[in-house]
C-alpha cells in the first residue's frame, strides 16, 4: 500500500494560538512553511492549543495528522479536535501520548471549519517542526516493490589528490530514495498524480508512505513521467527523494 499526503490546510487557513503564547523567535508560521528543520515553540510549558480556521468557504476535508520526527512531544498528552462553530469541539481521534518518530493519526475524511491540535500541560516547552493536517491518497494501483534503487543516497564529495589518493567530504546524512513504476493506471489515478504534481510545484515537499510501511518526507526527484498507453490508461514513473531537516 502506497499513500501520499501533499496538502496542508494550515497553508490556506488562519493559524493562531487559542491557548499559550508564541515565542517570537520560534513563530507559529513555522508549522506550515514546509521546512522541517525549523520549529515552532511557545514561551512556556503550559497547555497549547493551535487553532486552524479554514474560513466560511472553501473548506477542505482532511483525514490525517502528520508531524515530522524532529519534535519534542515524546510522552506529552495530545489531541486533535474539530468544530463547526468554534465553541463545541469534538475529538477526531482518541487522546494519545506522543512518542518519538513521525507522529501519524488518521480518521474518516471530515470537512470542518475549525481544527485544534492540543498539547495538555507539558512538563517542558515543546517544539514542533511542521504540523500537517492533510487529505491522504491511497494509490489504487501501487507496485509491491520499487523499480529502482533501495539504498540510501550518500551526500559525499570524493576528490582525488594529485598523487591519486581519495579524499572524502561528508556534507550531510544519506537520503532515502524511492522510484515506483505504474505501468497501467486509470483516469482518476492519473488526475491524482497531476494534482500532486501541481501542489508540489517544485518547492513544496510532501509525504510518502512507502512499501515498507514508513512515512518519508521528500520531493519529486524528477518530473512525473506520465504517458498515455491506451485510451484512459496511463503509465507513470514516480521518483522520490527524502528531504532532511
Check whether residue 96 and residue 124 sit in a common domain. yes
137-138/77-83 β-pairing: unpaired
Check whether residue 44 and residue 117 sit in a common domain. yes
Kindly report the CA angle at 52 between 48 and 57, in degrees rounded to 5? 165
pLDDT for 60 equals 97
pLDDT in tens, 47-67: 999 999 999 999 999 999 999
Number of structural domains found in the chain: 2
Residue 118 lies in a domain: yes
Residue 146 lies in a domain: no
Check whether residue 131 and residue 164 sit in a common domain. no
Check whether residue 89 and residue 157 sit in a common domain. no
- Of 78, 101, 136, the position where a domain reaches its end is 136
- Containing 191, the helix (H) or strand (E) segment is helix 187-200
- Of 136, 171, 191, the position where a domain reaches its end is 136
Residue 131 lies in a domain: yes
Q: What's the rounded mean pLDDT across residues 121-135?
A: 97
Listed ranges 77-91, 159-173, 222-236; the one with the highest mean pLDDT: 77-91
pLDDT for 74 equals 97
Cell of 50: 493551535
Alpha-carbon span 151 to 222, nearest angstrom: 18
Q: Which has the minimum average pLDDT: 60-74, 122-136, 156-170?
A: 156-170
Check whether residue 11 and residue 127 sit in a common domain. yes
pLDDT in tens, 134-156: 999 999 988 888 887 777 888 78
Q: What's the rounded mean pLDDT across residues 158-172?
A: 85
Alpha-carbon span 36 to 242, nearest angstrom: 12
Alpha-carbon span 245 to 235, nearest angstrom: 32
Closest CA relative to residue 127, chosen from 78, 73, 79: 73
Are the C-beta atoms of 175 and 242 separated by less than 8 Å? Answer: yes
14-19/103-111 β-pairing: unpaired
DSSP 193: H
Name the residue range of residue 130's domain: 3-136
Amino acid at each position: 500500500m502506497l499513500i501520499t499526503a501533499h496538502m496542508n490546510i494550515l497553508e490556506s487557513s488562519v493559524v493562531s494560538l487559542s491557548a499559550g503564547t508564541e515565542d517570537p523567535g520560534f513563530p507559529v508560521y513555522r508549522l506550515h512553511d514546509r521546512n522541517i528543520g525549523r520549529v515552532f515553540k511557545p514561551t512556556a510549558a503550559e497547555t497549547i492549543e493551535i487553532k486552524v480556521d479554514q474560513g466560511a468557504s472553501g473548506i477542505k476535508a482532511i483525514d490525517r495528522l502528520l508531524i515530522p520526527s524532529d519534535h519534542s512531544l515524546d510522552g506529552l498528552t495530545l489531541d486533535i479536535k474539530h468544530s463547526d462553530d468554534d465553541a463545541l469541539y469534538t475529538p477526531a481521534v482518541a487522546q494519545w501520548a506522543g512518542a518519538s518518530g513521525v507522529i501519524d493519526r488518521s480518521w474518516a475524511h471530515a470537512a470542518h471549519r475549525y481544527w485544534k491540535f492540543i498539547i495538555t500541560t507539558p512538563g517542558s516547552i515543546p517544539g514542533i517542526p511542521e504540523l500537517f493536517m492533510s487529505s491522504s491518497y491511497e494509490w489504487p494501483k501501487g507496485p509491491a516493490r520499487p523499480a529502482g534503487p533501495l539504498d540510501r543516497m550518500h551526500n559525499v564529495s570524493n576528490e582525488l589528490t594529485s598523487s591519486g589518493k581519495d579524499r572524502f567530504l561528508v556534507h550531510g546524512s544519506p537520503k532515502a530514495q524511492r522510484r515506483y513504476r505504474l505501468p497501467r493506471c486509470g483516469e482518476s489515478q492519473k488526475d491524482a498524480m497531476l494534482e500532486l504534481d501541481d501542489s508540489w510545484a517544485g518547492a513544496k515537499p510532501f509525504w510518502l508512505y512507502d512499501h515498507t510501511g514508513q512515512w518519508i518526507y521528500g520531493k519529486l526527484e524528477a518530473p512525473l513521467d506520465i504517458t498515455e498507453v491506451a485510451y484512459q490508461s496511463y503509465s507513470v514513473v514516480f521518483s522520490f527523494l527524502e528531504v532532511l531537516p
